[in-house]
Each structure stands twice: as C-alpha cells, then as structure tokens.
Amino acid sequence: MPDIKFLKGVGPAKAVLFNGLDIYTISDLLHYYPRDYQDRRPHAPMSDFKKPENICVLAAVINTQIIPTRYLTVFKAFLQDDKKQIYEAVWFKQRSRHFDPFAVIKRDFKPGAKIWVIGRGEDKSSFSSRVINVEEYYPADAPDVKIHAGGLTPLYSLTQGLTNRFFRSSVAGAIKKYLDEEKEILPPALTQKRKLLSIKQALYAIHFPSSLAELETARRRMVYEEFLLMTTAWHIKQKQGRQIVKNHAYEIKKTLLSPFKNLLGFNFTAAQIKVINEIFSDLKKNKPMTRLLQGDVGSGKTVVAVCAMLLAVENGFQAAFMAPTEILAAQHFITIQKYIKDLGIKIELLTSKTPAKTKKKILENLADGKIDILIGTHALIEDNVKFKNLTFIVIDEQHRFGVKQRAKLRAKAKDIDMLSMTATPIPRTFALAFYGDLDVSTIDALPPARSPIKTMQAGESEAFKIVQSEINKGRQAYIVYPLIDESDKVELKAVTAEFEHLKKLLPQYNIAMIHGAMKSAQKQKVMEDFLSRKIDILAATPVIEVGIDVKNATVMIIQNAERFGLASLHQLRGRVGRGEFESCCVLISKQQSVLSAQRIKTICSTSDGFKIGEKDLEIRGPGEILGTRQSGELDFKAGDVVKDREVLKWAVEDRDFLLRGDPKLLKPENGLFKKRIIELYQKQWNLLDVG
C-alpha cells in the first residue's frame, strides 16, 4: 500500500508525525487501532452530567453571547436538545486586537443550527441549564460528522502536532479509498471455524464500531490474528532449534550419580524422579535441550539440577550453574559442595565479589578443564569466562534474568543443553503458546515432612509475641524489610535504623542484619551464624528472597508487606516451613492500595504456587513472568495475553491444526499467512527459512 504521505490531507510534513508513531504506509494506519472509544451516541450514559467527564450532546442554537473580561473573552451559546434540555456551551479565548478569535464559532453557531457539542460538563444544579466547556464541535450537517460524533468515537494515541479529529479523518479517508486493498491473510478454514469477521469488516469496525458488541467481535478477530502469527512463529523457531544436531552425547554411567544418591541423606520424591527422567531422556537425544523446570518453592529443584550436572561431569564435560544473587550462589556452592564432597570433582564459585587473584586462578582452571562445575552469579556471563568443554548450564530462578543475560550464558558453548528453573509457574496456555508443550517439567509435590506455613496479617506487637515464643522453643526468625534497591542510601538508612530499634526492643536475643550492600565475606559469616543457630533473629532485606535454606527458622515477619509483589511474598515465605516444625509468616502492613490489599489477601489464602502465579500474571502482566519484558516479544497491538487468554487458547489449538494439515505452510491458501510471519519475525527472531 502507498506511503502515508500520499493519503489525502497528510503530505510530507504530517507524514513525519505519523512515522513517529510507526505508521509508514496507509496499511500501517489502518492497523493503528484506537486506544479507546468515547460514547458519543445521543443520550449515552455519560450525558447525564453525573461526572464531569466528556459530554456529547446534539442540540440546536437558541442564541449566543459574548462576554469580555479583562484578559479573556468568553463566548457562550445557549442550546436546546430534543428533550428541551437547555445547555450553555462556553469557550474562553485570549483577547486579540488583530482578529476575532470567535469568527469561525460565530459563523457555525447561527440560531437554529443543529450542532454536536463535545466537552467537559459541569452540572450547575442551581441553574436549569447545564454548562459545557467546549472541546470539539461538529455541525450536524457537516459531511464527515458521523466519524466524529453520534457514535462510539475512536480516540488514538497521538503525538504532538496531531489531533484526534485529524487522525479520525485520515483513518476514515484511508478506509474509504484503500480498505479494499487490504488482503486477508488468515487461512479461510480458520476464519470459518471461529466465525471471525473478514479483515475488511474487522478493520472498519475496530475504528468505527456501530456497537460495543461489534467492536468486541472486530477486536477479537485482530487479536486472534496477532496471537496466531506469534505462536506459529514460536513453533517454527522451536522446530528449527530441534533440528540442530549436537556434537556431544551423554551416557548414564552412574560413576558419580550413584555415590551422589547414596550420600544425599534422603530419597528423591516421585515427582523429582519423574522430572529427572524427563531431563535425562532429553539429554540423551541428539538435539540440544532447552527445558524449563518449574516447581514450587522448596520442592527440591536444586538436587535435580545437580543430577543433570553430574551426568555431564561423569561424561567428561563441564557444567555451569547461574543464580540471581550472590547469597544464593554462595549457598548453592556450599550445599552442592556438601553433596558431592567425596566424589572427587572440582567445583568453584565465581561472583563479582570474588577477589581478583582467586578469579584469575578460576578462569585459568576453567579454560584448562580443571574445574568441573562452576557456580556463580551474572559474573559467569562475562566475556573472559571461558570453558574448555562446557555442555550443560542451569539457570536458577530464570525469571530473575533478562533475555539477554540468559542468551549470553547459552552462547558460552555450541549446542548447549540448558535447564532453567523457576518457582513462578507459567500458566499452561502460556507454556503452550510460547514454549511449546514438550519443554516444561514440573515438580508437583513437596518433599515429605514439610509442615504447612500459616500466613496471616497482624500488628507488630502480636507478630513479635510469635517471634518470642518460637525462639523460646529453640526456633529462629526472619524479619524482612522492603529494601528494593540495594544502592538506595536513604532506604538502607531506614532499614538500618529499624534494625537498631529492633535490638532495643528485643535485647534478650541475638539479632543480626543482612543486606545486599554488605561485603560478601560479611554476608557469608552472617548466614553461617544463622545456620549454626548463633543468631536468633535475622533482620534482612529481600536478598534472602530466593533459595535460602535454614530448616530451624519457623517464623517470618514481613514489614511493609504492601510493598512486595506477589511472587516475592511467596518466595520469601518459602524461607520458613522447610523442616519438620510448624511455621508461620506474618505480614505487617499499614497502608494498602487496592492492588496491595489484593496481593495480601491472595497470599494469606493460598500457598499454591500455581494459583499465585496466575494471580500474579493478572496483576503484573506477562512480560515480567516470561522474562521477556525488555524484548518486546509480547507487545501486541490489539491483544493482551492475560485478558485475551481465551483467544490465545484458540490460537494455540488452531496453530496445531494448521500445521498438522500443512506443516511447511506450502498450500496456496496459507501463503499470505506465511508471508506475514516472515515479514514480522524473520529478522527479529533470526528465523531461518521458514519453510
């Protein structure tokens, strides 16, 4: 379709403004959907003046009046609608000695003329008339009045220099002249199956719907198309990944796996055995593995990952394990080291805090193949970290890493096998739409002898009573403060002050503090002291959110709980209830917004990670959960993967149906659909030949 500058009324100067909105062609304009609609139908509910929102009325001019004031001139028009309601339309304009600011308005507002008036309403109930501060008006007999008033009127996201009025006229012009050129890309079988509007009907109705129902049908059609294109593209990309044949192979020798199992001190749960088998059978294939392991907090994902790493090591390869925080990486290092201490393999820890000398040695040994397993933080993805024969990586708490970081670790070796882990499960529809069915393993049961965690809201004094009674029983406690950004000095000061206050309040106990801005050795010392019970109460920032494992800790107090997200609360709470003792989590929160109250209610009422994941998705949106927020991979023009989940399900079903009948999309009726996928995703996703 032609360049936008060729649309009537646009021209080169305005075209630049459209370009700023990513509108380059007339087709782009047709696919630039309204951000909202205003109900400008006669007697729409908002015309009752209850709220000073935008009002739209159709009324006839009775007379007009000009009232000069010191700086402004006020123009008033008295109008009456067909129900005999009187309105007072007002404009304020700068005075000018050179021209009449109201010339055009005067011309249009001749007594008797019928006019649509749109503006902010004021209900001056003491008068019989209703005041409208006019923003737009359209004479009822103007040729294009229908696109601006009298119906559901589209409002667009604009940029400086463009008005909704101009935008609407441009869209209407484009529809009139170019809509016929718009091609149907959806395979006819699918449009029929889902009873979807044709592209022309849908585009017309999404801009100028005749009813809310029609708008919904139109929107659904566009959402469906977007989702189908996206999920089909993902599928193709995934299939291409599976076509790569990897150069390394694993054999289950059990030279390390058997002793590991014997040293472990517990038996794997059935759920763990199931996922270990899934992972091993993946690894034995000749294609690189990309598997997501999901399992609730405390379900025992780490040992599963260790099994897989040991499989790599017993085959002579190296493995890497990346965790999102230093404390967590250090803790993994300690526990994994304990698990494997008699196996004769070499394991190291690398974080940004590793001293330069040690780091140098580690990097050398890594490149020489003297290190079998490297545990660490983001430090692992630095360019100077080079492995000799790395084949397997684990990304713990994968949602805490950005797409780029994950990709960088993957790029450390060719055909790498990857296991990513998360406790924030991805709802099934999503997994199907964006990951495909095969690549998710779930640990769906907790290890035995876990006691449920009671979660409640309480005041500070009640919370501290619980802490005292638990400590008197020999248990330990966490108190968590919301320090979201460890580099924020003001907040850190507040947390430190709280800590001092706490020490005064409970002088009989050993209290220590831990936060991310501390030196690693210091942090390590505190964690060790807590583990060996030298500390009764650990005052902490959310650095302890993930992974920390102290079985004797049975109570967690979360201060200012309203400031935490749902997933964080769930993760934090998972720090207690890790042993045989009954545990509880107390949320202290004074101010609550609607959303934070919703989060707190959810967290108190369920401990089901899947339910929390679903709820979290509703509240926070999908980008954060899939970890693709930065990449724009989930930006849709019309669709919203959360609100339109139903349509997403259709798209997944129909994708499979479509590809079953035509795996390479070679049939002529699927040609345009395929072409669009290539246009949209080939470059962005590095799709090879889509066929």
CB under 5 A: which stretch of 248-256, 408-416, 546-554, 583-591 binds Mg ion? 546-554
Closer CB to ligand ADP, residue 89 or residue 330? 330
Contact (Cβ atoms closer than 8 angstroms) between residue 413 and residue 274: no
Q: Among residues 215, 186, 250, which one has the least CA distance to residue 392?
A: 250
Asked whether position 447 contacts ligand ADP by CB under 6 A, the answer is: yes
CA separation for the pair 462, 460 (Å, rounded): 6
Strands 54-68 and 318-322: unpaired
Q: Classify the C-alpha dihedral 185-188-191-193 as positive or negative.
A: negative
Which one of 301, 400, 406, 676 is in contact with ligand ADP (CB under 6 A)? 301
The distance of closest approach from Cβ of residue 330 to Mg ion in the complex, given in angstroms and rounded to an integer, is: 13
Which one of 25, 47, 217, 299 is in contact with ligand ADP (CB under 6 A)? 299
Asked whether position 549 contacts ligand ADP by CB under 6 A, the answer is: yes
Asked whether position 573 contacts ligand ADP by CB under 6 A, the answer is: no
Contact (Cβ atoms closer than 8 angstroms) between residue 395 and residue 301: no
Contact (Cβ atoms closer than 8 angstroms) between residue 264 and residue 306: no
CA separation for the pair 171, 30 (Å, rounded): 7
The distance of closest approach from Cβ of residue 301 to ligand ADP in the complex, given in angstroms and rounded to an integer, is: 3
CB under 6 A: which stretch of 66-74, 116-124, 154-162, 292-300 binds ligand ADP? 292-300
CA separation for the pair 208, 221 (Å, rounded): 15
The distance of closest approach from Cβ of residue 51 to ligand ADP in the complex, given in angstroms and rounded to an integer, is: 49
CA separation for the pair 134, 84 (Å, rounded): 20
Length of the chain: 691
DSSP 280-310: HHHHTSSS--EEEEEE-TTS-HHHHHHHHHH
> How buried is residue 8: exposed, middle or buried, by Cβ count under 10 Å (0-12/13-18/19+)?
exposed
Helix (H) or strand (E) holding 217: helix 212-243
Closer CB to ligand ADP, residue 38 or residue 272? 272
Which one of 170, 302, 442, 559 is in contact with ligand ADP (CB under 6 A)? 302
Strands 537-540 and 476-480: parallel
Which one of 216, 266, 437, 493 is in contact with ligand ADP (CB under 6 A)? 266
Closer CB to ligand ADP, residue 55 or residue 307? 307
Asked whether position 639 contacts ligand ADP by CB under 6 A, the answer is: no
Look at residue 300 and give the partner it binds from ligand ADP, Mg ion, none, a contact being a CB closer than 5 to 8 Å depending on partner kind. Answer: ligand ADP
Closer CB to ligand ADP, residue 550 or residue 652? 550
Closer CB to ligand ADP, residue 234 or residue 392? 392
The distance of closest approach from Cβ of residue 264 to ligand ADP in the complex, given in angstroms and rounded to an integer, is: 8
Closer CB to ligand ADP, residue 77 or residue 576? 576
Which one of 268, 280, 581, 685 is in contact with ligand ADP (CB under 6 A)? 268
Look at residue 685 and give the partner it binds from ligand ADP, Mg ion, none, a contact being a CB closer than 5 to 8 Å depending on partner kind. Answer: none
Closer CB to ligand ADP, residue 6 or residue 268? 268
Asked whether position 272 contacts ligand ADP by CB under 6 A, the answer is: yes
Closer CB to ligand ADP, residue 256 or residue 446? 446
Nearest residue to ligand ADP, using CB? 300
Asked whether position 23 contacts ligand ADP by CB under 6 A, the answer is: no
Asked whether position 609 contacts Mg ion by CB under 5 A, the answer is: no
CA atoms within a 13 Å half-sphere pointing along the CA-CB vector of 467: 27
Q: What separation, in Å, do the N-terminal and C-terminal C-alpha atoms of the chain show?
A: 26
Strand (E) positions, 496-655?
Answer: 511-514, 537-540, 553-558, 583-587
The distance of closest approach from Cβ of residue 448 to ligand ADP in the complex, given in angstroms and rounded to an integer, is: 6
Closer CB to ligand ADP, residue 261 or residue 667? 261
Which are the contacts of 411, defined by CB distance < 8 A and separation ≥ 6? none
Asked whether position 527 contacts ligand ADP by CB under 6 A, the answer is: no
Asked whether position 423 contacts ligand ADP by CB under 6 A, the answer is: yes
Angle ∠(353,324,357) on CA atoms, nearest 5:
20
The distance of closest approach from Cβ of residue 396 to Mg ion in the complex, given in angstroms and rounded to an integer, is: 6
Mapping DSSP onto H, E and C, the string for 246-282 reads CCCCCCCCCCCHHHHHHHCCCCCCHHHHHHHHHHHHH
Q: Which two tokens stand for residue 381?
A: 């993805």
CB under 6 A: which stretch of 100-108, 263-271, 624-632, 676-684 binds ligand ADP? 263-271
CA separation for the pair 161, 669 (Å, rounded): 42
Q: Which two tokens stand for residue 431?
A: 């997994």
CB under 5 A: which stretch of 119-127, 267-275, 542-550, 661-669 binds Mg ion? 542-550
CA separation for the pair 644, 626 (Å, rounded): 17
Closer CB to ligand ADP, residue 349 or residue 363? 349
**In which order are the strands placed within the sheet that holds 537-540?**
453-457, 583-587, 553-558, 476-480, 537-540, 511-514
CB under 6 A: which stretch of 175-183, 212-220, 294-302, 620-628 binds ligand ADP? 294-302
CB under 6 A: which stretch of 115-123, 139-147, 236-244, 296-304 binds ligand ADP? 296-304
CB under 6 A: which stretch of 150-158, 195-203, 266-274, 636-644 binds ligand ADP? 266-274
Asked whether position 444 contacts ligand ADP by CB under 6 A, the answer is: no
Asked whether position 298 contacts ligand ADP by CB under 6 A, the answer is: yes
Q: Which two tokens stand for residue 465?
A: 């009573």
Q: What residue spans of 324-431 are helical by DSSP H?
A: 326-339, 356-368, 403-410, 428-430
Q: What share of the chain is helix, strand, coil (3-state, %, to 5)?
A: 45, 20, 40
Asked whether position 297 contacts ligand ADP by CB under 6 A, the answer is: yes
Asked whether position 424 contacts ligand ADP by CB under 6 A, the answer is: no
The total of other beta-carbon atoms located within 10 Å of residue 151's CB is: 20
Longest dimension (CA), the chain: 98
Which are the contacts of 59, defined by CB distance < 8 A and separation ≥ 6? 79, 80, 81, 85, 87, 114, 115, 117
Asked whether position 399 contacts ligand ADP by CB under 6 A, the answer is: no
The distance of closest approach from Cβ of residue 410 to ligand ADP in the complex, given in angstroms and rounded to an integer, is: 21
Asked whether position 547 contacts Mg ion by CB under 5 A, the answer is: yes
Asked whether position 531 contacts ligand ADP by CB under 6 A, the answer is: no
Q: How many residues bind Mg ion, per CB under 5 A?
A: 1
The distance of closest approach from Cβ of residue 354 to ligand ADP in the complex, given in angstroms and rounded to an integer, is: 23
> How buried is residue 155: exposed, middle or buried, by Cβ count under 10 Å (0-12/13-18/19+)?
middle
How far is the CA of 24 from the CAs of 12, 94, 226, 628, in angstroms? 11, 37, 19, 27
CB under 5 A: which stretch of 54-62, 288-296, 540-548, 568-576 binds Mg ion? 540-548
Look at residue 297 and give the partner it binds from ligand ADP, Mg ion, none, a contact being a CB closer than 5 to 8 Å depending on partner kind. Answer: ligand ADP
Q: How many residues bind ligand ADP, per CB under 6 A?
A: 17
Asked whether position 425 contacts ligand ADP by CB under 6 A, the answer is: no
Helix (H) or strand (E) holding 89: strand 86-94
Which one of 54, 269, 318, 568 is in contact with ligand ADP (CB under 6 A)? 269
Residues that bind Mg ion (CB under 5 A): 547
Residues that bind ligand ADP (CB under 6 A): 266, 268-269, 272, 295, 297-303, 423, 447, 547, 549, 578
